[in-house]
Amino acid sequence: MIEAGSLIRSLSGRPAARNFHTFVINEIGLGIVTGRFPIGSILANDAEMMETYGVSRTVLREALKTLEAKGMVEARPKVGTRVTPSSRWSFFDPQVLSWHFYAKPDQRFFESLFDVRGALEARAIALASARRTAEHVRLMKYWLHQMDIAQGNLEAHGLSALEIHRVIADSSGNALLRSVTGIVELTLALALKSLDASTGAAYCRDSLAAHGDLVSAVEAGTASTAALAGSAVIELDNNRAKLLL
């Protein structure tokens, strides 16, 4: 399982594995998403992978079972472990999403990401405008303040923005809408990845303003205004991510 925010924290490099099991999952999963292990190919046998990754058969088998549960591989008797078509992958799995951060930018995939983020967040924002509590508003304002004092620190800015979206999803009262968090984090990380010293300040300024409008509208309970503010936030990230293509 990947922790929320870990992808944004890893902008300067690959995420660190917490144990051998996670390490093997990351290595194989990332290899599949980036094409090092092509779709339809057969992975190396257990002995080879145990030597490659320096793990026991038990650790390797558990890692492959996890990847099979994510729809990325399937084990067949006398054939081996085959990489499955991407149509079978669990794209709402935060770990599967995170591996796409390191893959070659793909226009269709980017469009799909932002389409789904837009649809799910629109509903979350509408519900949050009606169901938010004083505590939800307090948390959103806290993270908005953290965005304000980040002062160009892209990681701090991104993590604070992500927390605002997590609070909105939580305040929607719909547990299933919380699954949008992984997509929000990936799209945020892609937007941040496109920035440099000359463009970061302008993005942070615009993002802060857009999130401020969003938080204010959700607090006021004006769903239509909140929807517009949410669309502005997503469009800002979308325009930045497109620069990676």
Q: Looking at residue 184, which CATH number applies to its domain?
A: 1.20.120.530
Looking at the chain, how many residues does it have?
Answer: 245
Take residue 22 and report the two structure tokens written for it.
């996670």
What distance in Å separates the CA atoms of residue 168 and residue 163, rounded to the nearest whole number? 9
Q: What is the pTM of this model?
A: 0.92
What distance in Å separates the CA atoms of residue 124 and residue 131, rounded to the nearest whole number? 10
Same domain, 233 and 136: yes
Same domain, 124 and 234: yes
- Structural domain boundaries, residue 193: 105-244
Same domain, 118 and 79: no
Please, are residues 176 and 182 in contact by the beta-carbon 8 Å criterion? no
Same domain, 162 and 197: yes
pLDDT in tens, 24-82: 999 999 999 999 999 999 999 999 999 999 999 999 999 999 999 999 999 999 899 99
What distance in Å separates the CA atoms of residue 230 and residue 172, rounded to the nearest whole number? 14
Same domain, 82 and 121: no
Same domain, 64 and 129: no
pLDDT in tens, 167-213: 999 999 999 998 889 999 999 999 999 999 899 999 999 999 999 99
End-to-end CA distance of the chain: 29
Q: Is 1 domain-assigned?
A: no
Domains contained in the chain, number: 2
